[in-house]
A and B are shown apart, each in its own frame.
Chain A
Amino acid sequence: MRTLTKSVSNKLLAAGALALSLALPAQAAINVLTCEPEWAALTTELAGDKASVSSATNALQDPHRVEARPGLIARTRNADLLVCTGLDLEAGWLPLLVQQSGNAKIAKGQPGYFEAGSFVPRLDVPAKLDRAEGDVHAFGNPHVHLNPHNIALISAQLAKRLAAIDPANAAYYAARQADFAGRWSQAMRKWETQAAPLRGLTLVEHHRNMEYLMSWLGMRQVGTLEPKPGVEPSAAQLGQLLAQLQQQPAKLVLRAAYQDERASNWLSQRAHIPAVVVPFTVGADKESGDLFALFDTTVQRLTQAVK
């Protein structure tokens, strides 16, 4: 009987708290602006409705070349937390946004600035910096998110950062991170099993933005459509690449959904290899609505192409 009253009173308390929380203005969700859609998806996984999350770029935009548009400056002004890849990927526009927004919380070095790329081991750190080599990233290849192990590393750090920004909900973020990490490691095992046939696969990519995906699945790049990073492919250079593929054949030509299809189709027809498009990030197509779907689709497209 006593336990019954206790449980009833507990329920009443809970109901009261719920009513109270509904009546009072909802605890203002923290405002998170991410530079790329994958970080918006990850933040939503960890923060649920405790954060209002938006991405500065969409999945079909080249994250290297974005304009510091007025609407973006306004959104940067109101952000409590900025989640970006960093590693100079956004060097052409992010510093301007942060400076013009006059938002001190999200300046580099502040807790409000989260640089995802700094938490994972980088590939392609250049030994020498020279613009004659094209658009070189001094801190290494910034496209870190296509290895799901990196997502796992970043997710742990991001949950900590969310808790630091919004200590009231620290336990909530930690619980969601634990839940996400569990589902994520299961999914990774599934993808790794599915992608086993891709080990040792050789491919041509458009820009050097698939390095982390290749290193994860044991694939190897034998050429890029861009002659140098950030330089658009020309007919002559594509011809050279085609000749080079006679010596070193590739099984497919790979590009991200945001990249121009023409060069990759050209090579696909002449080298008689399939042109494969991967979503590259969350939201690029309707099969890639969240982080899990992104990798499901990526692994599926690759394995289908080599069947």
Chain B
Amino acid sequence: MFKHSVMTVAIAAAFALPLSAGAAESPELAAIRAQIQEMKQSYEARLQALEQRLQDAQAAVAEAQNAAASAQQANAPAAPAAPAPAAPTTAAAGDNSFNPSISLVLGGTFSNLSQDPSTYRFGGFMPPVGEVGPGSRSFNLGESELTMAANIDPMFAGQLTFALTGENEASVEEAFVRTRELGGGTNVKAGRFLSGVGYLNAQHSHTWDFVDAPLAYQAFFGGQYKPDGVQVRWLAPFNTFLEVGAEVGSGRSFPGNDRNKNGFNATSVFAHAGDDIGDSASWRAGLSYLRTGAADRAYEFDGIPNAFSGKSSIWMADAVYKWAPNGNPTRTNFKLQGEYMRRKESGTLAAGELADAYASTQSGWYLQGVYQFMPNWRAGLRFDRLSSGTPFIGLVDSGALGMDAFPALVRYKPQRSSVMLDWSPSEFSRLRLQFARDEARPGQTDNQVYLQYIMSLGAHAGHTF
């Protein structure tokens, strides 16, 4: 037996070794070589077996950790596809494990305003409904946002965001359900949500780079456009970002109002495109269109009540450019964003008992840049401008009333310049100082100083681009 194997090995060795060496070697030498070879092989096999055992043991530890983690939290990392270990601990999770994740944003400001905030208005514009103006003087509790979100089932996820105001009011900022796995680049949302029009509109106020919304957002949307309705978004299957979306809504949000009407009372469509420029920069640009309407949208100015009924449509163009060296925004980064909005309203304008045709084309834009010059510190500059144009007012045109009956609509171009400096010790907290020179009221300049804190607690969702 031994001899036989020695022979085979010797033959094998003779073939394997260079001919000259093979010819010169004695059988003993060949046998020694063969033994060494055999030992090497068995050593190799044992090493491999040991390594396999080690790997198996490690995999078992990983699985035990997964089980422990999923017992602790409902939204644990997806369990590996491997057969689940017989770990009874997973069943021990309490009732809380399916609770929605909760996040809370606390905000507050200290304001110093040189003009009486109760007289705030946009010269040439009908006063919008919503969060408009610089707020109150001195200490103000900002909106505290309470968000709860969770997956509902494999198909749906849901989210509710309350805004608790300093005036002890609770309002529903967002409350929507969305699809999770429609696939094909499609996402559908239903409920109340931040509309996808424009750039800033879809972002919660705590992520804004300035204390307040741009003037155009305040004048045309009353802060932000949040329809009650349905949104469909579709992302095209290209390597360049191209997204289109459409929304239908009740039309109750400004510039619309409750018209006691069935059907889709507000519709909007939007398209966004974007891409990266090398590793360091990215851009996104978009076009949006919103069409809604109002019935007896009333406002009062200087004690004179007016009401608008008719169609309201808004075109928006938005663009944002972000730069961070090699895609690392932690140390320094820069962001430039701007939006242009143009609103057309046509219908009738009522003044007391009288009413006649009304048409206006008004526009507004802002441009802002924010630079993080060192870790945690950012500085920003923003310029806002609105243009009221001269509206066509039938009652004035026909001579029934003078322009003095519509003092709010006298042509004006409100503008504002703001600078800000903020410090964010972590991604969960931010302190901000902002100074603005606001010329929204005709002939008056309001110097506004704000100190603001924004803190976020609990689960913290990532921020959109």
Chain B residues numbered 151-171 whose CB sits less than 8 Å from any CB in chain A? none
Q: Does A122 contact B (CB under 8 A)?
A: yes
* Interface contact A152-B282, CB-CB below 8 Å: no
Q: Which residues of B contact A66 (CB under 8 A)?
A: 327
Q: Does A96 contact B (CB under 8 A)?
A: yes
Give a binary string over A78-90; 1 marks a CB under 8 Å from any B CB, 0 the rest. 1000000011100
B58, B79, B425, B428: which contacts A118 (Cβ < 8 A)? B79
Q: Does B417 contact A (CB under 8 A)?
A: no
Q: Does B410 contact A (CB under 8 A)?
A: no
Separation of A86 and B182 alpha carbons in the complex (Å): 23
Interchain nearest-CB distance for B244 vs A (Å): 12
* Interface contact B241-A104, CB-CB below 8 Å: no
Give a binary string over B315-338; 1 marks a CB under 8 Å from any A CB, 0 the rest. 000000010101111110000000
Q: Which residues of A contact B427 (CB under 8 A)?
A: 92, 135, 230
Separation of A113 and B48 alpha carbons in the complex (Å): 30
A71-B274, A71-B275, A102-B186 known; A107+B181 contact, CB < 8 A: yes
Chain B residues numbered 45-103 whose CB sits less than 8 Å from any CB in chain A? 47-48, 51, 54-55, 58-59, 61-62, 65-66, 69, 73, 76-82
Separation of A243 and B425 alpha carbons in the complex (Å): 25
Q: Does B352 contact A (CB under 8 A)?
A: no
Separation of A92 and B82 alpha carbons in the complex (Å): 27
Q: Which residues of A contact B330 (CB under 8 A)?
A: 62, 65, 232
Give a binary string over B409-426; 1 marks a CB under 8 Å from any A CB, 0 the rest. 000000000000000011
* Interface contact B78-A108, CB-CB below 8 Å: yes
Output the nearest chain A residue to B457 by Cβ-Cβ distance. Answer: A131
Q: Does A180 contact B (CB under 8 A)?
A: no
* Interface contact A69-B78, CB-CB below 8 Å: no
Q: Which residues of A contact B55 (CB under 8 A)?
A: 149, 152-153, 156
Q: Which residues of A contact B15 (CB under 8 A)?
A: none
* Interface contact A153-B59, CB-CB below 8 Å: yes
Count of residues in A whose CB is under 8 Å from the partner chain = 70
A102-B234, A118-B77 known; A69+B276 contact, CB < 8 A: yes
Q: Does B448 contact A (CB under 8 A)?
A: no
Separation of A58 and B242 alpha carbons in the complex (Å): 23
Separation of A111 and B326 alpha carbons in the complex (Å): 32
* Interface contact A231-B240, CB-CB below 8 Å: no
Q: Which residues of B contact A108 (CB under 8 A)?
A: 77-78
- 11 more A-B residue pairs beyond the given contacts A70-B283, A95-B462, with a C-beta to C-beta distance below 8 A: A58-B326, A61-B279, A96-B463, A96-B464, A104-B184, A111-B81, A118-B66, A131-B426, A139-B65, A149-B54, A149-B58
A-B contacts, 12 of them at CB < 8 A, read A58-B327, A67-B465, A70-B241, A78-B237, A99-B187, A118-B80, A121-B58, A121-B65, A125-B65, A139-B76, A153-B62, A231-B426
User: B residues touching A (Cβ–Cβ < 8 Å)?
Assistant: 47-48, 51, 54-55, 58-59, 61-62, 65-66, 69, 73, 76-82, 180-187, 233-242, 272-276, 279, 282-284, 322, 324, 326-331, 375-376, 425-428, 461-465
User: A residues touching B (Cβ–Cβ < 8 Å)?
Assistant: 57-58, 60-62, 65-75, 77-78, 86-88, 91-96, 99-105, 107-111, 113, 115, 117-122, 125, 131, 134-135, 138-140, 149-150, 152-153, 156-157, 160-161, 164, 185, 189, 230-232, 258, 260
